Structure 1
Amino acid sequence: MVQAVAYSTFRQNLKAYMRRVNEDSDTLLVTNTNPDDNVVVMGVDDYDALMETLRIYENPYLRGKILRGLEQVRSGRVEEHGLVDDGE
C-alpha cells in the first residue's frame, strides 16, 4: 500500500523516508498543495525491477514465452529437471 506524506514533512525527514522506502520496498507518495506537483518516491532496486517488467511486457516474444509457460503450469504440463552442469 502506498503511504502518503506531505512535502514539508518529507523534506524535514528526508533521510528517514528514503531509508524506509528502501527497507520496506514500498513506494511513497509525496503530496503538495498543488496535486500536479505530487511525486512518487521508490527505491532504485524497485524502479529497476519495474522497468525490467515493462521491457519484458512490451516485447511480444518474451511476453508470449511467459504466457505459454504459465499456461503449461496451469494445465499441469510441467517436468522437473536437474540443474545444468557447466563443467566446473
Structure 2
Amino acid sequence: MLAVNYTNLRENMKNYMDKVTDDYETMIVTRKNNRNVVMMSEESYNNLMENLYLMEDRANYDWIMESKKQLQAGKAGIHKLKEVE
C-alpha cells in the first residue's frame, strides 16, 4: 500500500493514478486533521464489493469454504454439461 500527501498527489496525479490502476496498488492520500482518503482502481473496488457480497451471507460463505476444501483435497471433477431444450 502506498501513502502520499495531498500536495504530492496533486502535482503527480497521472503517475499515481497509473500506479494504482496498472500495479493494482491501493493508495492512502494523507490530509490535514487525519482526514485521509483511499484511492484504488475501479477494478479493485468492484472486486472488493463482489467479495463483500459473497461473504455477507454466512451460508454462502460456508458453502464456498467447503467447496475450497474439496478442491484442495482433490475431490474436483470435470463433467459435461447437459443441454436443455
After TM superposition, the score normalised by the length of structure 1 is 0.80
Question: What is the 5 A alignment of 1:48-87?
Answer: 48-81=46-79, 84=81
Listed as ranges, the matches of 1:31-50 within 5 Å are 31-35=30-34, 37-50=35-48
1:13 maps onto 2:12 in alignment: yes
The CA deviation at 1:58 is: 0.1
Following superposition, the deviation at residue 80 of structure 1 comes to 3.3
- Count of aligned pairs between the two proteins: 84
Structure 1 stretches of at least 4 aligned residues deviating more than 6 Å after TM superposition:
none
Q: Flag the 1:85–1:12 CA change in 2: closer, same or farther, 3 A.
A: farther
Q: Cα deviations across residues 4-47 of structure 1 (Å, max 9, x unaligned)?
A: 11110001111221121111111011112322x11110000100
Question: What TM-score do the two structures reach when normalised by structure 2?
Answer: 0.83
Amino acid at match of 1:48: N
The 3-state SS of whatever aligns with 2:69 is helix
Report % sequence identity: 33
